[in-house]
Amino acid sequence: MCGIVGYVGPRPALEVVVDGLRRLEYRGYDSAGVAVIDPVGGLRTAKKAGRIENLDKELAHQTITGTTGMGHTRWATHGAPTDRNAHPHVSGDGRVAVVHNGIIENFRELRRELEAQGTEFRSETDSEAVAHLVAAQLRGGAASLADAVRAVCRRLAGSFTLVVLDRDDPDVVVAARRNSPLVLGVGDGEMFLGSDVAAFIEFTREAVELGQDQVVELRRGGYTVTDFDGAPAHGRAYHVGWDLSAAEKGGYDYFMLKEIDEQPGAVADTLRGHLVDGHIVLDEQRVDVQELREIDKVFVVACGSSFHAGLIGKQAIEHWTRVPVEVELASEFRYRDPVLDRQTLVVAISQSGETADTLEALRYARDQRARVLAICNTNGAQIPRESDAVLYTHAGPEIGVASTKAFLAQVAAVELVGLAIAQARGTKYGDEIGREFDALAAVPDKIAEVLADLDPVRAVAREIAASKAVLFLGRHVGYPVALEGALKLKELAYMHAEGFPAGELKHGPIALIEDGLPVVVIMPSPTARSVLHQKVGSNIAEIKARGARTIVVAEAGDVAAREHADHLIEVPATPTLASPLVATVPLQVLAAEIAQARGYDIDKPRNLAKSVTVE
């Protein structure tokens, strides 16, 4: 949540910073602002509520020069999304500017202390206190801006990425991080900062991930990292494996539409290299095979779409390994005293690798001595860094707030984990594991088939775009697909949408059915689990009899589905455990089409941000 950009070098800082903010806008779009140290005008700031276009308009009336600067795009926590609460925040003496991502948990006591000393606050944010505190340190004789920031960081509780400028030291940018992300970009005679590498990928692919509780001082010629006490420290340097084109729309109207089309590649790339000589291999494996053999319970912890990927994973892991799996929302897990020990494997799924609830859940699990395996799409993010083992998804950067390609890649990855456990425990023979892997590996072509024939989905979308609500039904792996379809519709089209297990209908939800209500049903394969196929067929008949307009997602050639469907969306036949990878795709498109028909921005739905770094 919140995007941060920083720059020091020979270029006009304003341009670099505003371009970086545009690439990070997916992290929050309640307001945007910049600060530049102008050789003529001193510390110059501009900030505006709303999207970056509003800031652009504000900047159009100003001439700001200078080659040291920073910017911020906000997802509001403390204080409404107004101009006043937008970042940067400046100290009362006009010397120090600060941008902040995260929450300063002890800001009330800090604010009281500063107000008692006569400081006037101009915003309702927690962040403003940091600007005043750093300025006070400098006035009190701190040897450098970095020293002042370190002293303030030692007093802060909570999570924060901070970037700080000092008007009186124009060639330096100082940043600090605890829990919230921050990456440096190392250029030739210039240095960049970003909440993620998209902020500076246009200029350099050499990145350094700043570690927990570290402060960095950037100058044109290089950077110095220390801990909060000033002891020398190191970030983790890496080369970014993708380039600017991956972070651009490439001719699409929205990132989400591009990302939907990239799904065959995302699944193929996630599976690639994980079956070697008939053996499943994961990435960084610090849980040894003996430990995998001894686990007697798996917990999957995640939020949102990643949680739905976990629900699909449960079906696969239990089926292949016979180890019981519980799937929990990370925000619930850590507050309810779950039963964990050394023989528990916790699988933490997160696209961003930053989600605060998932991070805290895995920390809790490690405190209980459980082993933690992360499934993550972001190289070097905090969640994989703090886990015992990592399996990276290779979906590439996902910029649309609604998860699409990352979700499919997570499903593929969690199933790989299931196969790895089955292999370690010997619950599947090598050739069986090979066949299951092949079923997954065949999926990208099937997704491509779905993407090549979306007209029926678009036609339904147009017909139901004005509906007040849509229900989604599924059973077995179809149930999490229904949940995911409903989540996409809620977050993009702001429609009331609910996913239910189809078998649960008669225990209450069927009361919602009224004439013309659209109900999307995920039909199980007629071949693999014909009992469930028949049961879902009966469920459709029951709702149709009560006036529902049925939209059925079914395998091509499923005659029974055709009989029950007012609208039929056919997908290629796929083995049950791999089928969510195919059946989810039309639901993503349905939500995107309905949202566009209703006139909404599908990349930046209201009230949301891509990475939820606060609890």
Catalytic residue among 47, 314, 490, 610: 610
Q: Of 16, 23, 13, 19, give the one whose Cα is nearest residue 44.
A: 13
Pick 23 or 111: Cβ nearer ligand M6R: 23
Pick 151 or 482: Cβ nearer ligand M6R: 482
**How would you class 10 by CB atoms within 10 Å of its CB: exposed for 0-12, middle for 13-18, buried for 19 or more?**
exposed
Among 159, 204, 358, 613, binds ligand M6R (CB under 6 A): 358
Total Cβ atoms within 10 A of residue 57: 11
Q: E strand or H helix at 366, and its extent?
A: helix 356-367
- The yes-or-no answer on residue 535 being catalytic is no
Q: What is the dihedral of CA 470, 476, 481, 483, to 10 degrees?
A: 50
Pick 45 or 355: Cβ nearer ligand M6R: 355
- Give the sign of the dihedral formed by CA 522, CA 525, CA 528, CA 534: positive
Least separation in angstroms between residue 607's CB and ligand M6R is 11
Query: Which 366-425 positions form the footprint of ligand M6R (CB under 6 A)?
Result: 401-403
Contact 472, 484 (CB under 8 A): no
Among 31, 127, 137, 352, binds ligand M6R (CB under 6 A): 352
Which residue has the closest beta carbon to ligand M6R?
Answer: 304
How far, in Å, are 254, 391, 555 from residue 260 at the CA level?
10, 22, 20
- Give the sign of the dihedral formed by CA 286, CA 345, CA 584, CA 554: positive
Total Cβ atoms within 10 A of residue 316: 25
58: left (phi over 0), alpha (psi -120 to 50) or beta: alpha
Least separation in angstroms between residue 115's CB and ligand M6R is 36
Least separation in angstroms between residue 614's CB and ligand M6R is 12
Pick 402 or 551: Cβ nearer ligand M6R: 402
Size of interface with ligand M6R, in residues (CB under 6 A) = 16
- The yes-or-no answer on residue 610 being catalytic is yes
Q: Residue 344 forms beta bridges with which residues? A: 297
Least separation in angstroms between residue 401's CB and ligand M6R is 5
Q: Residue 68 forms beta bridges with which residues? A: 8
CB neighbour list of residue 231: distance below 8 Å, 6 or more residues apart: none
- From CA 18, how far away is CA 64, in angstroms rounded? 12
Least separation in angstroms between residue 378's CB and ligand M6R is 8
Among 270, 315, 351, 574, binds ligand M6R (CB under 6 A): 351
Pick 401 or 532: Cβ nearer ligand M6R: 401
263 scored as a contact of ligand M6R (CB under 6 A): no
Q: Which stretch binds ligand M6R (CB under 6 A): 26-34, 109-117, 346-354, 515-523?
A: 346-354
Q: Which stretch binds ligand M6R (CB under 6 A): 79-87, 255-263, 348-356, 502-510?
A: 348-356
Q: What is the dihedral of CA 405, 410, 415, 419, to 10 degrees?
A: 120
Pick 350 or 550: Cβ nearer ligand M6R: 350
Contact 295, 343 (CB under 8 A): yes
Least separation in angstroms between residue 357's CB and ligand M6R is 8
Query: Which 477-496 positions form the footprint of ligand M6R (CB under 6 A)?
Result: 487, 491
Least separation in angstroms between residue 272's CB and ligand M6R is 21
Least separation in angstroms between residue 582's CB and ligand M6R is 18
590 scored as a contact of ligand M6R (CB under 6 A): no
Catalytic residue among 2, 153, 303, 376: 2
Least separation in angstroms between residue 609's CB and ligand M6R is 9
497 scored as a contact of ligand M6R (CB under 6 A): no
- From CA 484, how far away is CA 44, in angstroms rounded? 45
Pick 107 or 333: Cβ nearer ligand M6R: 333
Token pair 């960095």 in the structure block, residue: 216
Site string for ligand M6R, 296-315 (x = CB under 6 A): -------xxxx---------
- From CA 62, how far away is CA 34, in angstroms rounded? 12
- From CA 309, how far away is CA 66, in angstroms rounded? 47
- Give the sign of the dihedral formed by CA 576, CA 579, CA 580, CA 584: negative
Among 31, 68, 180, 355, binds ligand M6R (CB under 6 A): 355
Pick 266 or 612: Cβ nearer ligand M6R: 612
612 scored as a contact of ligand M6R (CB under 6 A): yes
- From CA 398, how far away is CA 112, in angstroms rounded? 41
Pick 90 or 614: Cβ nearer ligand M6R: 614
Q: Which residues bind ligand M6R (CB under 6 A)?
A: 303-306, 350-352, 355, 358, 401-403, 487, 491, 611-612
Catalytic residues, by residue number, are 2, 610
